[in-house]
Structure 1
Amino acid sequence: MKPIHYFSLLLYMSILAACSSKPAVTSQISTDTIPVKVMSLRKENSKFTVAVSGQFTTDDEVMLSFKIGGIINGLFVKEGDAVKKGQLLATLNPVEINAQVQQAKLSVEKARRDYQRTQNLYKDSVATLEQLQNGKTALQQAQQQLSMASFNRQYAEIRAPKNGYILKKMANAGQQIAAGTPALQANGAQADHWMLRVSLSDNEWSMLRLKDEAVIETTALPGQQFNGILSRKAEGVDPATGTFTADITLTGPRPKAIAAGMFGKATISPQQNTQTAANWQIPYEALLDGDGSSGYVFITNDNKTAQKVKVTLGRIDKNAVTVTQGLEKAKALVISGSAYLTHNSAITIQSTVNPAK
């Protein structure tokens, strides 16, 4: 039995030796590279533009109302109607105001008679000088009351202040309306004094000057552009929006298919473009984690690894972002594939784009 035990022991030891002497498997760790597109960098003197949007207006829109309250007798126009200067647009029921005018006339006649009578008595030394002066004052007061009543009767009707259009009707015939309550809204659009009213940020307001040129577009007239100039800048912030209001007046041929309140957009070219310093213009997709004044981008100097660097931002224009600092030592900017990168990631250059001139 002993030879059998020895044989089993030898076989077991041989198996252990074979297991312990199994050659180690060497694994090769391959580093994955991320394909990216890059853009070569160079400073350039770019002409900034300011993109704004707003609504078209004629700057002479007016709310038309009656001077006195009363019952509306008639409204003779509808929304969209063209009107001529002086055209009768609405009237109040004249019964009450006519009665007031007639009452004022009677008061004048009575005051005149009283004054004449006092004059005669004064000549006969029956009336005193004080009575004569009081009679004259009463006559003057009555005349002023008549003048006021006549004025109110004149404005118991609404007439068009200039050639234009009715934008909105806010009352109807038979309705009682208070003095000064708007009944109609009109403008002077027939004079073609159109402008685009826009809002500006603090930075845009300080950068722009009056008479800066602009190009205006509207979705109502696709493919068409109109020239304009910055004609007005507000000197105070609108508390409702926190922005500055500005007007861009259209110059040259006016658009025909346009209406008050229609949306439009404009690109303004500041006059101080000639003093613009050289900076880098980078595409939007290259910028990461921008907070208004700074952000991050990926660059490469060896075309093998990408580095994440912080940059200082200037203006955000219509087609690009301006970088003022942070790219002084960079050779190329990663413009595609940045979302998959971390600092010192290995990259493969798919293509290189040259910045537009």
Structure 2
Amino acid sequence: MKLLITNLLLLGICMIIYSCENTLGKEDKRERMELLKLQLKEINNEMIALEKDLKLSGVEHELSPSRILVTALSLKTTKFHHETEIRASVASRKNVLLAAESMGKIEKIYVSEGQKVKKGQLLVTLNSQVLQNSLEEIKTQLELATVLFEKQANLWNQNIGTEIQYLQAKNNRESLDHRLGTLKSQLRMSRIYAPFDGVVDKIVAKVGEFSQPGLPMVRIINPESNYLKADISESLLGKFSIGDTVQIYFPNQNQNQSSVISAIGQVINDQNRTFELEVVMPECDFPVRPNQVVVIRLVDYLNDRAMVVPTKLIQTDNQGSFIYVLEGKSDDKKASKAYVNIGYSFDDHTEILSGLVENQMIVEKGYRALTQGTLVEITVDK
């Protein structure tokens, strides 16, 4: 067929040269001839490539009426793993909404949103004038009670006065001292301090508003305390351990990071049949926020000596899953169905649990044109 097409092309070239004989000069004819020869060579190369593709796909049966060209693959054991993707979110161990502990009008807010704060830094104060006045009053009374107690103690040491007078002076001083401590505690409750180093995320309070105990006022967050948490199906129980490496995908930033499992929940949630998984937050050069959605890729299966084939080679019929293997001598190869039990599939490859053996030859290309017992010819895929 190729010879016939080539001859027809040569005949066409000659006719073109003849038709141009009267209009082209000798040099022009020679250049024209070289150009046509080059075009003929390109066409011939393209025909060869197309013919090869048709043979491999088993479409052009007239090229090899008795045999079908295929490529073969020798099975080898290899390391195989399966990954599962789990939806997770960013959480923080230091993400608190501070609330008022006492009643009063908001007098002053000392910080603004986005500001970094230190542990113990004053954030908000409530009107505490009444407490301040009571505090000063108790301090004055305590000073007097202390002086009276010291004098009474000196007299008592000299056996002057009664024991009742000494005990009353002592009790009065201690009572005022306790009242002073109580007022100081109440005064501290009218002020809100940062419980840890962090950033002011949100300020709910407004100066002049009346605060009630438990009313949210300021949110403080520490980004360094972020971690990842996910609810895992109980079907994956025992598939991984603390310290295992995982891959983390941040869809908003289209970034991948590696990390390790830090904690595994010990209780199954009876509502959704899941348990909790915690992963260490990796160091990121992009912003990450609490409640941000991420994807965790976990290795839930690993086999160091697995029999693995491309998933596309596995076909099915009414008897089950099968792969075409090569049988017979080198000059008399034929395709035969080998029924297999398959395991996990991942990354376009599937583990074969049984049905194939190491070093067995399977059909890699041209398998779609095969049936049981088809004669084949092995070619090299270039």
Give yes or no for TM over 0.5: yes
SS in 2 for 1:207: coil
- Give the match for residue 227 of structure 1: 258
Could you tell me how far apart the structure 2 residues matched to 1:297 and 1:100 are? 92
Shift, 1:221, TM fit: 0.6
Could you tell me how far apart the structure 1 residues matched to 2:122 and 2:109 are? 9
Could you tell me how far apart the structure 2 residues matched to 1:218 and 1:236 are? 28
- Give the match for residue 243 of structure 1: 274
- Give the match for residue 195 of structure 1: 227
Shift, 1:60, TM fit: 1.7
Could you tell me how far apart the structure 2 residues matched to 1:279 and 1:69 are? 71
8 Å contact kept, 1:220–1:257: no
Give the alignment partner of residue 299 of structure 1, picking from 312, 321, 345.
321
Structure 1 residues 300 and 46: CA distance shift in structure 2, 3 A: closer
Shift, 1:54, TM fit: 1.8
Give unmatched runs, 5+ long, in structure 1: 1-39, 287-295, 330-347, 353-357
Structure 1 residues 168 and 53: CA distance shift in structure 2, 3 A: farther
Could you tell me how far apart the structure 2 residues matched to 1:109 and 1:125 are? 25
Give the alignment partner of residue 297 of structure 2, picking from 241, 253, 267.
267
Shift, 1:119, TM fit: 3.5
Could you tell me how far apart the structure 2 residues matched to 1:239 and 1:99 are? 56
Q: Which amino acid aligns with 1:104?
A: I
**So what's the TM-score if we normalise by structure 1?**
0.59
**So what's the TM-score if we normalise by structure 2?**
0.56
- Give the match for residue 291 of structure 1: none
8 Å contact kept, 1:83–1:160: no
The answer on 1:157 being equivalent to 2:213 is: no
8 Å contact kept, 2:106–2:124: yes
Percent sequence identity over aligned pairs? 16
Shift, 1:85, TM fit: 0.8
Shift, 1:195, TM fit: 2.2
8 Å contact kept, 1:104–1:145: yes
- Give the match for residue 69 of structure 1: 103
Deviations 1:24-76 (CA, angstroms, capped at 9, x unpaired): xxxxxxxxxxxxxxxx9x99763233422222234221232344332222334
The number of aligned residues is 280
Could you tell me how far apart the structure 2 residues matched to 1:277 and 1:158 are? 61
Give unmatched runs, 5+ long, in structure 2: 1-72, 326-336, 357-366, 372-382
Structure 1 residues 111 and 205: CA distance shift in structure 2, 3 A: farther
Structure 1 residues 114 and 61: CA distance shift in structure 2, 3 A: same
Could you tell me how far apart the structure 2 residues matched to 1:195 and 1:97 are? 42
8 Å contact kept, 2:98–2:218: yes
Could you tell me how far apart the structure 2 residues matched to 1:198 and 1:166 are? 26
**More helix by percentage:** 2
Structure 1 residues 97 and 198: CA distance shift in structure 2, 3 A: farther
Q: Which amino acid aligns with 2:261?
A: L
The answer on 1:84 being equivalent to 2:114 is: no
Could you tell me how far apart the structure 2 residues matched to 1:58 and 1:76 are? 24
Could you tell me how far apart the structure 2 residues matched to 1:46 and 1:121 are? 92
Could you tell me how far apart the structure 2 residues matched to 1:208 and 1:72 are? 51
Aligned 1:86-105 pairs, distance under 5 A: 86=119, 87-105=121-139
The answer on 1:215 being equivalent to 2:247 is: yes
